[in-house]
Amino acid sequence: MAQLDFGALMKQAQALQEKLKEAQEHAAAQVVDAEAGGGMVRVSVDGSMQVRKVEIDSALLASNDKAMIEDLIVVAINLGLKRAQEMVAQEMGRIGPLGGIKLPGFGGG
């Protein structure tokens, strides 16, 4: 059975940590858009799960339907957050299983 080289394992773990940090920073800089009510409410959300922008169509505001406006804002934000989470997961998935760490006896080391 192969011996574990803890020095090499630590270097690989540090490299993985750096890859994760870079992926998180890249994802945080990305922005996704979502809409509700046929585009009457539009939101932009970044990879840090921060809502960057909310736009409400003036025709919707003119309707004075407060409950509908509130509901559409919630729907658009939730969809935007879901898309942002998917985008972040996709960014993290690019790193690969275990971030490329090679462990003896586990098919890579």
Asked if 40 and 28 touch (Cβ cutoff 8 Å), the reply is no
The whole-angstrom separation of Cα 54 and Cα 74 is 11
Q: Give the pLDDT confidence of 74-98 residue by residue, as tens digits.
A: 999 999 999 999 998 888 888 776 5
Q: Which residues of the chain have pLDDT under 70?
A: 1-4, 97-109
User: 51 — phi, psi (to 5°)?
Assistant: -75, 120
The reply to whether 101 falls in a domain is no
Q: Which CATH number characterizes residue 33's domain?
A: 3.30.1310.10
The whole-angstrom separation of Cα 8 and Cα 101 is 10
pTM: 0.73
Q: What is the pLDDT of residue 34?
A: 98
The strand pairing partners of 23, in sequence order, are: none
The reply to whether 45 falls in a domain is yes
Q: What is the pLDDT of residue 19?
A: 85
Domain count of the chain? 1
